């Protein structure tokens, strides 16, 4: 593991080619290059790297070009979506391609239902979309995926046991099936789709949110009676808590909770509250909520409101306020809330301000990113800061490799970036972190058990405590 960033090996990249987007999965990563190519590295147990037609499924310690030799009409990719053991990419032509594990049909390509893993990309069946209709975005859950079409309709495929596909039943689907829109008003369409662990939510053009699938913790946000029954088609998220005349402007999903940002800058969350990740109850009863509850902003500077939300963490949530301050709430067993220098590590049921004493004077956070039990943010001066679990060096800050958890943000060691280098994007896995620099190079740090740091030579390193450059020699 590396406790400070190491540059991801990029020797595979062509001259002038660099990374423009990174996505970190649990044990593998993928990057989109400026030429529209996808490179993946790390665990390849199910073929999720998409690079070896021979099917040896060996992990790759450096980025490998996703094999598209059999895709004759492909001109390049524009986005990525990673599930647990599979990967998907959206192409310029609006077609979707997936590769890796297919035990639940999450590759969306085989109507014969053989459900065999695919070691190179296969086209997601788009027969349900209709002539001239294309995908405009993709999202991946634990074992299912969904795509938003150019018509504003949603299509899902893969695991359906908890009815997370939204088509009216709980059967796995090997090809995309239309999400039932019967509960949406006439003329309404989806503008966002987000897959949670075993549920899915969508934001409609009228500002209403709809969720479907597993509801064991109330993560669908729709039933005040608390029956917590799974829903096979989209149901409207209850908006009774929202201010009159307001609607949702964006959504985020965690594993079993979801949050929405309203048009007046307020945040609302629903679902599991086992560790206070809904941010609404100062009494700390931590009861699940079946309908949205307003996130408590009593700690905010007067007049400030939420600007963005991040809920990717397993049991914590964070938000960026209009005054540039960051706030987190929920589980704090590893210091992932970034607020208590005294190290008591008590969970917080309402937002607490992330300590910014380590930031450059005058700078503030402009983006937040959550991992399993650690959090990171990019500041306005391009520096990256992380806090929380540092078991594998995923905070990227300590060359001495003591791997102690950090209760307040610490600056990610950026010495490998060179003079004037800065971070422009971050993506967090469970035990590792990756960042994209202003020069288009990728760097990763933390756990490296499956080669997910993408460095060469790895020298058998199981972790890196500071950033290492991802090997781009394949680009």
Is the confidence at residue 119, as pLDDT, over 90? yes
- If DSSP codes are grouped into helix, strand and coil, which group holds residue 250? strand
pLDDT at 1: 47
Distance from the Cα of residue 243 to its chain's centroid: 29
Among candidates 305, 300, 307, which has minimal Cα distance to 249? 307
pLDDT, mean of residues 31-57: 89
What is the tens place of the pLDDT at every residue in 14-41?
A: 668 999 999 998 889 999 999 999 999 9
Quickly tell me which residue has 């099917």 as its tokens.
55
Query: Which DSSP symbol is given to 392?
Result: T
- Cα separation, 381 vs 362, whole angstroms: 9
Beta strands in 242-362 (DSSP E): 248-253, 257-262, 267-271, 289-294, 306-310, 316-321, 326-330, 348-353
User: pLDDT tens digits, residue range 355-400?
Assistant: 999 999 999 999 999 999 999 999 999 999 999 999 999 999 976 6
Q: Which of 295, 299, 320 is nearest to 309 (CA)?
A: 320
The pLDDT value recorded for residue 11 is 64
Does residue 210 contact residue 236 with C-beta atoms inside 8 Å?
Answer: yes
pLDDT tens per residue, range 107-117? 999 867 789 99
Output b/e per residue, 108-142; b: 16+ Cβ within 10 A: bbbeeeeeebbbbbbbbbbeebeeeebbbbbbbbb
Question: To which residue do tokens 């001495």 refer?
Answer: 400
> 């003591």: which residue's tokens?
402
Look at residue 309 and tell me whether its pLDDT is greater than 90: yes
Least confident window among 51-65, 321-335, 398-412, 427-441: 51-65
107 touches 159 (CB < 8 A): no
Q: Contacts for 167-172 with beta carbons within 8 Å, 24 or more apart?
A: 167/232, 167/233, 168/232, 168/233, 169/232, 170/230, 170/232, 172/104, 172/105
Q: What is the mean pLDDT of residues 326-332?
A: 96
Across the chain, mean pLDDT equals 92
Residue 134 pLDDT level (bands cut at 50, 70, 90): very high
CATH tag, 29-412: 2.130.10.30
In this prediction, residue 285 has a pLDDT band, given cuts at 50, 70 and 90, of: confident
Give yes or no for residue 353 having a pLDDT over 60.
Answer: yes
Residue 196, CA atoms < 13 Å, CB-side half-sphere: 36
Report residue 278 as tokens.
């809904």
H/E segment holding residue 98: strand 96-100
pLDDT bin (cut points 50, 70, 90) of residue 284 is confident
Q: Which of 62-66, 234-238, 471-475 has the lowest mean pLDDT?
A: 471-475
CA distance 110 to 87: 16
Chain-centroid distance of CA 118 in Å reads 23
pLDDT in tens, 426-472: 999 989 999 999 999 999 999 998 899 998 655 567 889 999 999 88
In the structure, what pLDDT confidence band is assigned to residue 475 with cuts at 50, 70 and 90? confident
Count helices and strands (H / E) in the chain: 0, 33
Q: How many residues does the chain have?
A: 475
User: Which tokens belong to 48?
Assistant: 């999720």
Q: Are 119 and 50 in contact (CB under 8 A)?
A: yes
pLDDT number for residue 345: 86
């Amino acid at each position: 593991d590396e406790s400070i960033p190491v540059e991801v090996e990029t020797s595979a990249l062509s001259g002038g080619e660099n990374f423009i987007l990174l996505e970190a999965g649990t044990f593998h990563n993928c990057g989109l290059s400026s030429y529209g190519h996808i490179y993946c590295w790390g665990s390849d147990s199910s073929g999720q790297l998409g690079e070896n037609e021979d099917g040896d499924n060996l992990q790759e310690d450096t980025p490998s070009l996703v094999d598209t030799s059999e895709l004759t009409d492909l001109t390049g990719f524009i986005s990525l979506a990673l599930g647990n053991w599979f990967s998907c990419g959206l192409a310029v032509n609006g077609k979707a391609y997936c590769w890796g594990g297919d035990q639940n049909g999450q590759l969306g390509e085989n109507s014969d239902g053989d459900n065999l893993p695919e070691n190179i990309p296969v086209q997601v069946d788009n027969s349900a979309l209709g002539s001239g209709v294309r995908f405009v975005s993709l999202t991946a859950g634990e074992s299912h995926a969904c795509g938003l079409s150019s018509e504003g309709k949603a299509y899902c495929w893969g695991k359906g046991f908890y009815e997370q596909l939204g088509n009216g039943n709980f059967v796995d689907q090997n090809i995309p099936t239309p999400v039932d829109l019967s509960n949406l008003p006439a003329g309404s369409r989806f503008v966002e789709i987000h897959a949670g662990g075993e549920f899915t939510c969508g934001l409609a053009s009228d500002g209403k949110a709809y969720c479907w699938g597993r509801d064991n913790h109330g993560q669908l946000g729709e039933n005040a009676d608390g029956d917590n029954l799974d829903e096979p088609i989209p149901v409207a998220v209850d908006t009774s808590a929202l201010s009159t005349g307001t609607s949702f402007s964006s959504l985020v999903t965690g594993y079993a909770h979801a949050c929405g940002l309203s048009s007046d800058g307020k945040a609302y969350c629903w679902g599991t509250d086992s560790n206070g990740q809904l941010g609404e109850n100062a009494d700390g009863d931590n009861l699940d909520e079946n309908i949205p509850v307003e996130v408590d902003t009593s700690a905010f500077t007067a007049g400030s409101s939420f600007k963005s939300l991040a809920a990717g963490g397993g049991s914590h949530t964070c938000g960026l306020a209009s005054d540039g301050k960051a706030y987190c709430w929920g589980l704090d067993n590893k210091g992932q809330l970034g607020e208590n220098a005294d190290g008591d590590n008590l969970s917080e049921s309402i937002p607490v301000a992330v300590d910014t004493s380590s930031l450059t004077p005058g700078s503030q956070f402009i983006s937040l990113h959550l991992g399993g039990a650690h959090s990171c943010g990019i500041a306005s001066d391009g520096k990256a800061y992380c806090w929380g679990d540092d078991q594998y060096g995923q905070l990227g800050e300590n060359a001495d490799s003591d791997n102690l958890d950090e209760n307040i943000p610490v600056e990610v060691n950026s010495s490998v970036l060179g003079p004037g280098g800065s971070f422009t994007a971050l993506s967090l896995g469970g035990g590792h972190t990756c960042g994209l620099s202003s020069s288009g190079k990728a760097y990763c740090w933390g756990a490296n058990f499956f080669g997910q740091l993408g460095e060469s030579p790895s020298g058998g390193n199981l972790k890196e405590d500071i950033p290492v450059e991802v090997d781009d020699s394949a680009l």
